Amino acid sequence: MPQAKIIDGKQVAAKLHQALKEEVVALTKQGVTPGLATVRVGEDPASQVYVQMKEKACAMIGIMSRGIRPPADISQEDLIAQIEELNSDSNIHGILVQLPLPGHLNTPTVLQHVNPDKDVDGFHPLNLGKLLSAKYWEELPRFIPCTPAGVIKLIDSTGVEIAGKQAVVVGRSIIVGKPVAMLLLARQATVTICHSRTSDLGALTRTADILVAAVGVPQLIKGKMIKPGAVVIDVGVNRLEDGLVGDVDFNQAKEVAGYLTPVPGGVGPMTIIMLLTNTVRSAKAQLS
């Protein structure tokens, strides 16, 4: 059997990037410059890197970005007050609260105070509720969580039809696992969700025409756990001594899968481009 075709997330994102840039130019000519506020609480090194990447991506396509940098010891009330200011600012079309927040802050409560019409991360309960209630793709909310949306774009890039396929999602987080399962359902896949308490994980993953690994365990998915020819999307990013690895054992998986994302260079670039897509979508909604 030939080796898996590698799904190049950078390449897929680049195609979307050019189209988005043209949309931003058109909006600016109509007097609206899309604006994204990034709220990063404290000085967490990983969060610093992620936010810098997002702000750099904004600059590349003409989105105005505004960095809000509260100290790590900010009170919940003061943080919510800053978010409310952004909610009422007509120049800000998207609000991103970088996670994780410091332990003394209640993340669900903070996210609930982001205006759902500016919730470009798609984590407000209203948007998540709309995602859960959507039976068909056309019924989805304006804002879909960025990583799950990117996963679907990567699957589509292979040309493999999602409808009717067996899909297995390993991971049940509200950030990736649950939303991506809902998106696959909306595209008419039959979906199984697995997690840390699933017994005989391999027996389930071997049924998957489409396998999404998002559990945060380095190289958990071995080659023998993959159905030959499957589309395998590796969302995991795990830092080991010799570098970054995913939740899928890449070297084993490439001998079995039909399509496979690398780590890095797979899902990561898609997360950022979908954030920008949501911001532009919000600006267009304001214009209309």
98 is annotated as an active-site residue: yes
User: Whose CA is closest to 249, among 201, 269, 157, 257?
Assistant: 257
Stated as kind and residue range, the H or E segment containing 218 is: none
Using alpha carbons, list the distances in angstroms from residue 56 to 19, 36, 85, 114, 183: 17, 12, 24, 23, 28
249 is annotated as an active-site residue: no
> Catalytic: which of 119, 121, 209, 249?
121
- Tell me how far the alpha carbon of residue 173 is from its chain's centroid: 12
> Catalytic: which of 54, 153, 178, 254?
54
> Catalytic: which of 98, 117, 234, 249?
98
Instruction: Give one DSSP letter per residue of 118-175, joined into a string.
Output: G-TT--SHHHHHHHHH-SSGGG--S---HHHHHHHHHHHHTT---TT-EEEEE---TT
Instruction: Give one DSSP letter per residue of 63-101, joined into a string.
Output: -EEEEE---TT--HHHHHHHHHHHHT-TT--EEEE-SPP
188 is annotated as an active-site residue: no
Catalytic positions: 54, 98, 121
